[in-house]
Each structure stands twice: as C-alpha cells, then as structure tokens.
Amino acid sequence: MREQLELLWELQKIDLELKRIKEDRDRYPKEMKKLEERQRLERERIHQEKEKVELLEKTRRQKEGQLNLEQEKIKRAETRMSEVKTNKEYQALLSEIDAIKEANNRMEEEILQVLDEIDELKKSLSKREKEVGIVLEKIDTEQIRLQEKMAHHEKAWDKETERREVLSKQIESKLFKLYNTLKEKRQGVGVVSAKNETCLGCFVNVPPQMFIEVQKNNALIRCPNCNRILYWDGERNTK
C-alpha cells in the first residue's frame, strides 16, 4: 500500500499542476484581448487627433479658396472703374470694393486663427504619437511575453498529461476510481497531507491514533471530516 499511496500522492501533485496550468491557459486569452483593446484605443486616439488636423486643413483650404475668389472680384471691380461714366457709379464701385476688402480682412484673420490651431494640434499630435509609440512598444513586449508563457504552458501541459497517463496505469483500478471520485467532489483534491494531527484539506483535527497510522503510510486512511485520503509527506512535514 505504501507504494500505491506514494503513486497516488504524486498523481495528486500532477493534477494540481495541471489545474494551475489550465487556469493560466484560460486566463491568457482574456489578458491578450485586454492588450489588443489597449492597442485599439491608443491607435484610435491618434486617429481622432489626425482627423481633427485634417478637418482644420480642409477648412483652411476652403477659406483660402473663398479668399482667392473674393480677391478676383476686387480685381474685376478695379478694372470696371475705368469704364464708369458717373460719379455715382464710381462711388458705388468703391463701396463694393471696400466691402469686399473688409470681408477679406476678416477672412484672412480667420485663416490665421485656423493656421495657429493647426500648428498647436500638430505639436500636440507629434508629442502624443511619441507617447503612444512607447505605450504600443510596451504592449508589444507584453504580448510577446504572454505568447511565450502560453507556449511554455502548452509544453508543460503535454508533459504533465503524459506523466499522468503513465502514473495512472501503475495505480490499482479501485484506488484510482476512488481518487477520481474524491477529486471531483473536493475541488480537485482527493489526497491531502496531514500535519500536527490536522488534515490539511479541511483543517480539522485527526484523532491521535489515526494520525500515528497516517504517518506510517501503510494503509488507506481517510479524513473523518472531509473524507479525503490522508498522506504523510515526511519531507514536507519535517520543515
């Protein structure tokens, strides 16, 4: 029975390791998704700021185009001045030219304001792009690290699964069945260590005489409270 208990104890350690690996494997896709979402948000912010600059550039071009048209009107009006025949027509033409020039002055001021705004946005965008570049680089590094961990855990999973398969064949079928039943009922733990007359599965005291028998590892003894199989891990319990 000692050999069977030792095999069962080793099997329990393998199953706990497999459980830990599975929890990590289940968590990694969620972490990767979070990193991808952070990437998307950072790139989206840059895209939005670029769109602001492009919109202002479009506004500037429209205003400059309109200003050019108004300046052409002034040239045509000035050409017509030599053709007018009355002072009234001449004064009317002068008033028209002055009104266009006044509107153009306002337009030029608006264009200058837009140019200033574009300049400020471009400076802010340049700074933001550098900051985002650093953030994205860190995210890329984290993604690579996560992918490496995923690959490592895949190998570890295969290795532990293979060990479990080999070990399972060495355990008596009835004992193996009992272990699996207890494991399913007790959150993945069917075999636990006992220390200082205490079951380390449920932390309830084990009767003194029973604890003495547990330390021999010569018989199948189960915790009176949680029903798990008790094992004396001499190396661990002496620490």
| 60 assigned to some structural domain | yes
What is the reported pLDDT for 236? Answer: 59
Looking at the structure, tell me whether residues 78 and 138 fall in a common domain.
yes
Looking at the structure, tell me whether residues 32 and 116 fall in a common domain.
yes
Q: What does the pLDDT average to over 65-73?
A: 92
Percent composition of the chain: helix, strand, coil (DSSP 3-state, to 5)? 80, 5, 15
Instruction: List the end-to-end C-alpha distance of the chain, in Å, as a whole number.
Output: 25
Residues 6+ apart with CB under 8 A from 91: none
Does residue 209 sit in helix, strand or coil? helix
In which residue are the tokens 């029975």 written? Answer: 1
Tokens, residue 102 = 């006044």
Question: 112: how many CB neighbours lie within 10 A of its CB?
Answer: 11
Measured CA to CA, the distance from residue 59 to residue 54 in angstroms comes to 9
| 200 assigned to some structural domain | yes
Looking at the structure, tell me whether residues 141 and 215 fall in a common domain.
no
> Beta strands 229-231 and 191-195: pairing type?
parallel
Element (H, E) at 71: helix 2-80
- Condensed to tens digits (0 to 9), the pLDDT of residues 181-192 reads 999 999 999 999
| 207 assigned to some structural domain | yes
Looking at the structure, tell me whether residues 87 and 146 fall in a common domain.
yes
| 33 assigned to some structural domain | yes
Specify the CATH number for the domain of residue 122.
Answer: 1.10.287.1490
Question: 216: how many CB neighbours lie within 10 A of its CB?
Answer: 11
Does residue 195 sit in helix, strand or coil? strand
Looking at the structure, tell me whether residues 101 and 211 fall in a common domain.
no
Summary mean pLDDT of the chain: 92
Range of the domain at 80: 27-151
- Condensed to tens digits (0 to 9), the pLDDT of residues 122-180 reads 999 999 999 999 999 999 999 999 999 999 999 999 999 999 999 999 999 999 999 99
Domain count, the chain: 2
Q: Which of 196, 201, 208, 197 is nearest to 227 (CA)?
A: 201
Looking at the structure, tell me whether residues 127 and 217 fall in a common domain.
no
- Condensed to tens digits (0 to 9), the pLDDT of residues 125-136 reads 999 999 999 999
Asked whether the whole model's pTM tops 0.95, one would answer: no
